[in-house]
Amino acid sequence: MTLRLTNTSKTFPDGTKALLPTELTVKTGEIVSLLGPSGCGKTTLLRIIAGLETSNAGSEIWFDDDNVTTLPVERRKVGMVFQSYALFPNMSVRANIGYGLKIQKLSKLEIDSRITEVLEMCQLQDFSARAVSQLSGGQRQRVALARAIAPRPRLLLLDEPLSALDAAMRKDLRDELAVLLREFEITAIFVTHDQNEAMAIADRVAVMSDGHIVQIGTPEELYRNPNSAFVAGFVGNAMHLDGKSTGNELILEGGSLKLPSKGAGHNVYVRAEDVHIDDNGSLCGQVETITFLGTHYRVGSRVSCPIC
Amino acid sequence: MLKSKTKILQLFVTLTACAFLFVPMILSLLAGVTSNYFKGVSSGLTLKWVFKVWELYADSIFLSMGLAFACLIVTLIIGLPAAYGLARHPGWLSRLLEEFISLPLAIPGLAIALALLQLYGSLKGFRISWTFILVGHVLYTLPFMVRSILAVLASMDLKTLEEGAASLGASSWQRFRDIVVPNAMPGILAGALTVVTLSIGEFNITWMLHTPYLKTLPVGLADSYASMRLEIASAYTLVFFILIVPLLMAMQWASARAQRITL
């Protein structure tokens, strides 16, 4: 299913502009991540797509050829994984997963076979009779995912699905989630504030700030060609060099740097891996820290010229 | 040495306190099955006073049971949606409403009864009907039902749970039936237990509102102490006790069962 948002915005009753008019298209089977710091509007955007939040007048949300803008969440056929999972404490794992199917009034046979299928996909066979309170964080996350996909939604929405887990588990489950989402072959949008998560899971990442999408592209595009200081700083933590521009050179305390194009500003962002340490370089620096990181060293240096 | 002395003192105080509470109760219950209280237990044990109570006050027993049941139904019908509404829309208005519902607890039952009599006393048919007493009981017990359900609902993230159900296609009624009510069950049962016991034992309001043909258990008890032999009044206490204990146990059992999850 293709998702298309045009002119979609949200102003809260207290006047806060949570989302400025936004355009977004997500193609069939694509996994898009909404990435940004807290308060950037990413969760609001997700909730508008889900139908949990109404958008301002003039907004349009299309699921293929259906205009769903005014449709409530229960009729949009979206699967949703919440940050807190929102599993029903009064139901077992099996009943949680089967709830959406029961609402659809499927036959008991159909419900059973679908539950079994989803349980297997998410490797939850051994836990089907358990109460939600008896599950670990990772298992809960998988149940939430299984429950969301069991009714075969048109679109899967995930709101910070990994943030409730502890750091050690997060990386494993991140890769697991990336594999599962591709197995489901479903159009998915997921919200995160963690750039590693976004890069690892998504086909395309939409970087958001102050209620709008600053840039959208593949992880590599964002990393190689950020369109703003914000994206450069947020994705991959590029180094920021502030100096005086002469037009084709940037003059810094420790020397100068050739600029790639004329008329560039005085703010330059450089990726650490693009820096080569060389005795005859044009920029001097004093090494302050060296950290061994297994596959590489991280060298921290201050741009200045102690010798010259 | 000192330690054991303290222990002995502790034991003494505990036993004295127990005796202070239990001796009158046991004496009262014993009086209900004694042939002649003034002669003492030596006059022999009998069940005739218990039968006499049944003969005289069976109507009161049935009335009280019926009232308690009706009161439970009404407080559920009003209390559950009220608690749900308050839990879903927290804010100063909800807090104010909650306090407002709780007002009858702070006002003496006598005053509530007087207010009801002043307002509805002239409606003859209503005044002499058991539903008039029911209104008093509902006013008095509703806050217990609402608060008990509200406490359970407030302890969970009801909004997100409902959003989860909605995203799976559940309508607002289905969400209420499948998510809200089952998860509120411990609160509903605790509230039900309180409402039933309070309604059966309520005296202040009922005493003001009752008519000679509508005496509840506690009103009948007061009546029997005032106008019957002490043995009958004591046997009455015994009957009261026998009725209420199995009822409480049954409800406790039901509440333990209700907390099971759907497989």
Supply the DSSP symbol for B38. Answer: T
Give me the residues of B, 174-203, that contact A with CB < 8 A.
Answer: 174, 178-179, 182-183, 185
pLDDT profile of chain A (308 residues), mean per 10: 94 93 94 94 95 94 94 95 94 96 95 94 91 92 94 94 84 87 91 92 95 95 90 84 80 81 71 83 86 89 72
Judge whether A170 lies within some domain. Answer: yes
Put simply, the answer to whether B262 touches A91 (Cβ < 8 Å) is: yes
Of A208, A230, A252, which one is at a domain's C-terminal end?
A230
Encode pLDDT of A234-246 as tens digits. Answer: 888 788 888 887 8
Q: Which chain B residues have a beta carbon less than 8 Å from that of A151? A: 168-169
- Token look-up 């009729």 returns A75
Neighbours of A72 (CB within 10 A): 13
Judge whether A51 lies within some domain. Answer: yes
> Distance, in angstroms, between A288 CA and closest chain B CA?
49
Residue A217 sits in the same domain as residue A107: yes
Judge whether A7 lies within some domain. Answer: yes
Residue A146 sits in the same domain as residue A39: yes
A113's CB contacts (< 8 A; 6+ apart) are none
Residue A190 sits in the same domain as residue A299: no
Domain of B229 in residue numbering reads as 47-258
Pairwise pLDDT comparison (B127 vs A87), residue with the higher score: A87
Encode pLDDT of A90-109 as tens digits. Answer: 999 999 999 999 999 999 99
User: Which of A103, A143, A147, A156 is most worth mutating to test chain B (most B CB atoms within 10 A of its CB)?
Assistant: A103
Judge whether B53 lies within some domain. Answer: yes
Judge whether B16 lies within some domain. Answer: no
How far is Cα B51 from Cα B33, in angstroms, rounded to an integer? 10
Q: Flag whether the pTM goes above 0.90.
A: no
> Distance, in angstroms, between B178 CA and closest chain A CA?
9
Residue A260 sits in the same domain as residue A153: no
Residue B6: strand, helix, or coil:
helix
Nearest 5°: the CA angle A100, A103, A107 is 95
Of A230, A264, A281, which one is at a domain's C-terminal end?
A230
Judge whether A308 lies within some domain. Answer: no
Residue A163 sits in the same domain as residue A275: no
Q: How many domains does chain A have?
A: 2
Smallest CA–CA distance from B263 into chain A, residue: A92
Judge whether B37 lies within some domain. Answer: no
**A56 class by beta-carbon count within 10 Å (0-12 exposed, 13-18 middle, 19+ buried):** middle
Q: How many domains does chain B have?
A: 1
Residue A258 sits in the same domain as residue A195: no
How far is Cα A56 from Cα A74, in angstroms, rounded to an integer? 20
Contact B206, B200 (CB under 8 A): no
Task: Write down the ipTM of this complex.
Answer: 0.87
Judge whether B220 lies within some domain. Answer: yes
> Distance, in angstroms, between A126 CA and closest chain B CA?
14
Judge whether B24 lies within some domain. Answer: no
Judge whether A99 lies within some domain. Answer: yes
Smallest CA–CA distance from A156 into chain B, residue: B167
pLDDT at B261 over 70: no
pLDDT at B1 over 60: no
Put simply, the answer to whether B164 touches A78 (Cβ < 8 Å) is: no
DSSP secondary structure, chain A, as one string: --EEEEEEEEE-TTS-EEEEEEEEEE-TT-EEEEE--TTSSHHHHHHHHHTSSPPPTT-EEEETTEE-TT--GGGT-EEEE-TT----TTBBHHHHHHHHHHHTT--HHHHHHHHHHHHHHTT-GGGTTSBGGGS-HHHHHHHHHHHHHTT--SEEEEESTTTTS-HHHHHHHHHHHHHHHHHHT--EEEEES-HHHHHHH-SEEEEEETTEEEEEE-HHHHHHS-SSHHHHHHSS--EEEE-EE-SSEEEETTEEEE-SSTT--SEEEE-GGG----TT-SB-EEEEEEEE-SSSEEEEEEE--S--
B87's CB contacts (< 8 A; 6+ apart) are B150, B153, B154, B158
- Token look-up 């006050």 returns B57
Residue A173 sits in the same domain as residue A252: no
Put simply, the answer to whether B160 touches A88 (Cβ < 8 Å) is: no
Put simply, the answer to whether A78 touches B171 (Cβ < 8 Å) is: no
Contact A191, A42 (CB under 8 A): yes
Tokens encoding B18: 């127990």
Neighbours of A168 (CB within 10 A): 7
Task: Categorize the per-residue pLDDT at B246 as very low, low, confident or very high, splitting at 50, 70 and 90.
Answer: confident
In one letter, which amino acid is B257?
R
The whole-chain average pLDDT of chain B stands at 88
Closest CA to A52 of A37, A25, A71: A71
Of A180, A214, A230, which one is at a domain's C-terminal end?
A230
Residue A266 sits in the same domain as residue A207: no
User: Which of B167, B171, B175, B263 is most worth mutating to test chain A (most A CB atoms within 10 A of its CB)?
Assistant: B167
Residue A75 sits in the same domain as residue A130: yes
User: Which of A99, A112, A134, A156 is most worth mutating to test chain B (most B CB atoms within 10 A of its CB)?
Assistant: A99
Judge whether B231 lies within some domain. Answer: yes
> What is the domain-level CATH number for residue B140?
1.10.3720.10
Residue A140 sits in the same domain as residue A289: no
> What is the domain-level CATH number for residue A29?
3.40.50.300
Residue A225 sits in the same domain as residue A246: no
Residue A52 sits in the same domain as residue A87: yes
Domain of A270 in residue numbering reads as 238-303
